[in-house]
Amino acid sequence: MIESSFAKASAADADPGRRDFIRDIVREDLAAGRHTAIRTRFPPEPNGYLHIGHAKAICLDFGIAQEFGGACNLRFDDTNPAREDPEYVEAIKDDVRWLGFAWAQLRHASDYFEVFYRSARKLIEDGHAYVCDLSAEQVREFRGTLTEPGRASPYRDRGVAENLDLFGRMRAGEFPDGSRTLRAKIDMASGNINLRDPALYRIKHVEHQNTGNDWPIYPMYDYAHSLSDAIEGITHSLCTLEFEDHRPLYDWCVDKVDLPNHPQLWDFLPARGLPTAPAKPRQIEFSRLNINYTVMSKRKLVAMVEEGLVDGWDDPRMPTLQGLRRRGLTPSSLRLFAQRVGISKQNSLIDYSVLEGCVREDLDAHAPRRLAALDPLKLVIDNLDADHVESIAFPNHPKDESFGTRTVPFSRELWIEREDFMREPVKGFHRLVPGGEVRLRGVGIVRCHDVVMEGDSVAAVHCTLDATTRHGMPGADRKVKGTIHWVCAKHAIAAEVRLYDRLFDVADPDAEDDGNTYRDRINQDSRRSVQGWVEPAAANADPETHFQFERIGYFVADRRDHTPFHPVFNRTATLRDTWAKAGK
Ligand code: ATP
Ligand code: MG
Q: Whose CA is nearest to atom 15 of ligand 1?
A: 44
Question: CATH classification of 372-485 is 2.40.240.10, yes or no?
Answer: yes
Q: How far apart are the CA of 80 and the centre of ligand 2, in A?
A: 11
Query: β-pairing, 568-574 with 493-500?
Result: parallel
Query: SS3 string of 308-340?
Result: CCCCCCCCCCCCEHHHHHHHCCCHHHHHHHHHH
Cα–Cα distance measured from residue 579 to residue 279, given in angstroms and rounded to the nearest whole number: 50
The reply to whether the predicted model has a pTM over 0.85 is yes
d(C-alpha 293, C-alpha 308), whole Å: 19
289 in ligand 1 pocket by Cβ < 6 Å? yes
Ligand 2 centroid to 88 CA: how many Å? 14
**CATH ID of 292-370+494-584, from 3.40.1160.10, 1.20.58.340, 2.40.240.10, 3.30.420.40:** 2.40.240.10
Per-residue pLDDT 10s for the chain (584 aa) are 333 344 444 544 656 678 999 999 999 999 999 999 999 999 999 999 999 999 999 999 999 999 999 999 999 999 999 888 889 999 999 999 999 999 999 999 999 999 999 999 999 999 999 999 999 999 999 999 999 999 999 999 999 999 999 999 999 999 999 999 999 999 999 999 999 999 999 999 999 999 999 999 999 999 999 999 999 999 999 999 999 999 999 999 999 999 999 999 999 998 888 888 888 999 999 999 999 999 999 889 999 999 999 999 999 999 999 999 999 999 999 999 999 999 999 988 999 999 999 999 999 999 999 999 999 999 999 999 999 999 999 999 999 999 999 999 999 999 999 999 999 999 999 999 999 999 999 999 999 999 999 999 999 999 999 999 999 999 999 999 999 999 999 999 999 999 999 999 999 998 887 788 898 899 999 999 999 999 999 999 999 999 999 999 999 999 999 999 999 999 999 999 877 756 54
Sketch the domain layout of the chain as residue ranges.
292-370+494-584, 372-485
At 15 the pLDDT is 66
Q: Which residues contact 548 (CB under 8 A, 6 or more apart)?
A: 363, 364, 367, 368, 369, 370, 554, 555, 575
- Indicate whether residue 332 lines ligand 1 (CB < 6 A): no
Name the residues annotated as catalytic.
45, 288, 298
Instruction: Specify the pLDDT at position 11.
Output: 45
576 HSE (CA, 13 A, CB side): 5
What pLDDT does 14 receive?
Answer: 58
**CA distance linking residue 97 with residue 40, whole number of Å:** 16
Give distance in angstroms: CA of 561 to centre of ligand 2: 33
Task: Output the pLDDT for position 581.
Answer: 59
CA angle 58, 64, 67 (to 5 degrees): 130
Do 35 and 245 touch, CB atoms closer than 8 A? no
298 lines ligand 1 (CB under 6 A): yes
69 neighbors 27 (Cβ within 8 angstroms): no
344: nearest Cα among 281, 282, 284, 296: 284
56 lines ligand 1 (CB under 6 A): yes
User: Which residue's CA is the closest to the ligand 1 atom numbered 23?
Assistant: 54
- DSSP-derived secondary structure letter, 273: T
Please report which ligand is nearest the Cα atom of 242. 1
What span, in angstroms and rounded, lies between the C-alpha atoms of 20 and 67? 13
Alpha helices for 410-541 (secondary structure H)? 536-539
Count of CA atoms in the C-beta half-sphere (13 A) of 437 = 12
Cα 188 from chain centroid (whole Å):
40
User: How many Å apart are CA 312 and CA 314, to the nearest integer?
Assistant: 5
Q: Residue 271: its pLDDT value, please?
A: 82
Say yes or no: do domains 292-370+494-584 and 372-485 share a fold.
yes
Task: With beta carbons less than 8 A apart as the criterion, state whether 155 and 199 touch.
Answer: no
Cα(496) to ligand 2 centroid in Å equals 39
Mutate to test the pocket of ligand 1, among 45, 321, 355 (most ligand atoms within 8 A of CB): 45
Q: Report the SS3 class of residue 181.
A: strand
